[in-house]
């Protein structure tokens, strides 16, 4: 049985992770930006990544909101989000994607840079996310000690707060960040931007170990670089969540010109990743 049992710490998304761990595997988390190749296309993508081709895909879907200055995003995601912005994606479209994911039985979350939440209105964003069925927000650029309005809004509307830790984080910073989270903590396994990598980072098990030493009551997710089922199994052998982004976005290589073909590739990759997390703890 999972060691994560405190419902106040787990929130909605952490409860899903605990359920997956009780099944003997980590949770699979898929990232995809709303609006790419178009808003309607992206809604089909997030549904397909949950379904796979065998009825088994992502447990949690991170819906990215395209941003004008994506500090952490690699070239694949930068290209996709630039195209989405050129085609008129709006913040409110993220809530449509949240509803699409929820309709398939997976847990939707939003990953966004904080300026977009502030521009929308912090309380209004939390309210509308919750109303659409969203579990919480991952905020890569938001320090947990500089956002009292977010704690107030997330508590008021019962949405999870997922902050990031990195290999450069001090032990004190890791502890403080994890205490501020509800749901799980996002551990970046490399310094720098996101992107597909040939092999996973040697720092990944180290940052997970440091996080668990700081706070054993919160699940730890690893992102940055996972691109196939073999890597998902490797990361899932020690992390509680395996997070995949650029590899999924890359399957939409036709930029909407061959959505049927791209969705086949996406479903096949989702199957491979799901199989990877299934064998991760065996």
SS3 85: helix
- pLDDT, position 191: 44
Computed on alpha carbons and rounded to an integer, the radius of gyration of the chain in Å comes to 17
pTM of the prediction? 0.94
* Residue from 102, 71, 87 nearest 34 by CA: 87
Q: Is 62 a catalytic residue?
A: yes
Distance CA 242, CA 244 (A): 7
pLDDT given for residue 201 in this prediction: 62
Helix extents (H) in the chain: 7-22, 39-51, 75-86, 93-103, 114-120, 122-132, 148-157, 171-180, 204-214, 229-236, 246-250, 259-278
Q: What pLDDT shows up at residue 223? A: 83
Distances (CA, A) of 218 to 66, 97, 151, 182, 267: 28, 27, 17, 8, 30
Nearest by Cα to 97 from 62, 126, 68, 52: 62
pLDDT for the residue 194: 47
Q: How far apart are CA 220 and CA 117, in angstroms?
A: 24
Residue that the structure tokens 């309380």 belong to: 123
Residue 189 is predicted with a pLDDT of 81
User: Cβ distance 144 to 180 under 8 Å?
Assistant: yes
- The yes-or-no answer on residue 73 being catalytic is yes
| Catalytic hit among 41, 51, 59, 73 | 73
Question: What distance in Å separates the CA atoms of residue 37 and residue 58, rounded to the nearest whole number?
Answer: 20
- Positions of the chain with pLDDT under 50: 191-197
Q: Could you say which of 62, 234, 240, 262 is catalytic?
A: 62
Question: Would you state the CATH architecture of domain 7-277?
Answer: Alpha-Beta Barrel (3.20)
């Amino acid at each position: 049985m999972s060691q994560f049992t405190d419902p106040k710490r787990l929130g909605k998304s952490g409860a899903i992770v605990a359920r997956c761990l009780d099944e003997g595997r980590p949770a699979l988390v898929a990232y995809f930006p709303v609006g790419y190749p178009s808003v309607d296309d992206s809604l089909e993508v997030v549904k397909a990544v949950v379904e796979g081709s065998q009825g088994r895909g992502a447990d949690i879907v991170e819906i990215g909101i395209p941003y004008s200055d994506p500090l952490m995003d690699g070239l694949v995601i930068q290209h996709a989000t630039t195209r989405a912005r050129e085609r008129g994606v709006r913040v409110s479209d993220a809530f449509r994607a949240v509803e699409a994911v929820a309709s398939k039985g997976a847990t939707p979350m939003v990953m966004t840079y904080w300026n977009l939440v502030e521009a929308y209105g912090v309380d209004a964003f939390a309210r509308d996310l919750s109303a659409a069925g969203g579990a919480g927000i991952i905020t890569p650029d938001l320090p947990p000690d500089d956002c009292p309005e977010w704690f107030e809004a997330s508590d008021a509307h019962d949405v999870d707060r997922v902050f990031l830790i990195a290999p450069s984080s001090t032990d004190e910073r890791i502890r403080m960040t994890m205490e501020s989270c509800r749901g799980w903590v996002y551990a970046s396994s490399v310094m720098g931007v996101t992107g597909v990598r040939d092999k996973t980072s040697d720092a990944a098990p180290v940052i997970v170990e440091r996080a668990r030493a700081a706070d054993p009551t919160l699940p730890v997710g690893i992102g940055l670089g996972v691109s196939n089922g073999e890597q998902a199994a490797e990361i899932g052998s020690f992390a509680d969540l395996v997070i995949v982004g650029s590899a999924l976005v890359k399957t939409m290589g036709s930029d909407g010109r061959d959505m049927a073909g791209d969705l086949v590739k996406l479903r096949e990759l989702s199957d491979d990743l799901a199989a990877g997390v299934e064998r991760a703890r065996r």
